[in-house]
Structure 1
Amino acid sequence: MHDLPGYDYHLDIPGTTIFDGKQAMKGYALNKMCYDFNKAVNREAFKADPEAWMEKYGLNEEQKQAIRNSDILGMIAAGGNIYYLAKLAGIFKLSVQDVGGLQTGRTTEEFKEFLKSQA
């Protein structure tokens, strides 16, 4: 880490949201809600009334709309951490490979083939 004033230590990766301290603060409520999906009872309660759950955790409108749209990339842009979002993605019936495809601009099958080619 450089300690030069104004030094930007992030890589510029087009289309990639870097999860850093700023994103962590932005997504705190969303990630806290997703953490609670580690319990099946909470996942079921969310499915029964997603709006109430989003309100309970104080999600902002950007986060709520991304959830309403089942938009995992939108949730990442809204501060979501993929490790916490994995539980929410599961509620939406999305696998890790589905999300990987979304993140890389590939279909799920293309992403799986890409992974195999890297082995």
Structure 2
Amino acid sequence: MHDMPGYDYHIDIPGTVLFDGTQAMKGYALNKMCYDFNKAVNRDGFKADEEGWMAKYGLTEPQKDAVRQRDILAMIDAGGNIYYLAKLAGIFKLSVQDVGGLQTGRTTEEFKEYLASQA
């Protein structure tokens, strides 16, 4: 797979964490936990006992710290996939615009204004 013409496994986009196979393996436990938040009962279970829930899924210490701090960017760095993290962000009462602002270094309002300017 590494020999595919035109594909560079070492793409460097400043400020961007590429979700590749390495990141997928690194973030497996965090992403599995977030995937299971598709069910309300699991979201409720997490809210009732965050530490127990993170232990149940085997999150690493950096993943646990990122969740404790509600730091979506640190979760991405720890292997989190934004599509799975969206459920966790929702539990934390963060909107897609909140997360977009975090990812682009803008406040939520600045990010909303940016989106509106692109229409």
Fold similarity call, TM over 0.5: yes
Q: After TM superposition, list the pairs within 5 Å mapping 1:78-89 onto structure 2.
A: 78-89=78-89
TM-score scaled by structure 2? 0.92
TM-score scaled by structure 1? 0.92
* Equivalent residue, structure 2, for 1:29: 29
Q: 2:43, 2:3 → 1: CA distance?
A: 43
Number of aligned residue pairs: give it: 117
Stretches of structure 2 that go unaligned for 5 or more consecutive residues are none
TM-fit CA distance, 1:83: 0.2
Q: Does 2:92 correspond to 1:92?
A: yes
Q: 1:11, 1:24 → 2: CA distance?
A: 16
TM-fit CA distance, 1:9: 3.6
TM-fit CA distance, 1:2: 6.7
Tell me how large the CA RMSD over aligned residues is. 1.6
Q: 1:20, 1:72 → 2: CA distance?
A: 18
Q: 1:16, 1:78 → 2: CA distance?
A: 13
Stretches of structure 1 that go unaligned for 5 or more consecutive residues are none
* Equivalent residue, structure 2, for 1:65: 65
Letter in 2 for 1:78: A
Q: 2:10, 2:19 → 1: CA distance?
A: 10
Q: 1:28, 1:106 → 2: CA distance?
A: 28
Q: After TM superposition, list the pairs within 5 Å mapping 1:3-42 onto structure 2.
A: 3=3, 8-42=8-42
TM-fit CA distance, 1:13: 1.8
When residues 2 and 25 of structure 1 are mapped into structure 2, their CA distance, relative to the original with a 3 A threshold, is closer
TM-fit CA distance, 1:96: 0.4
When residues 2 and 78 of structure 1 are mapped into structure 2, their CA distance, relative to the original with a 3 A threshold, is closer
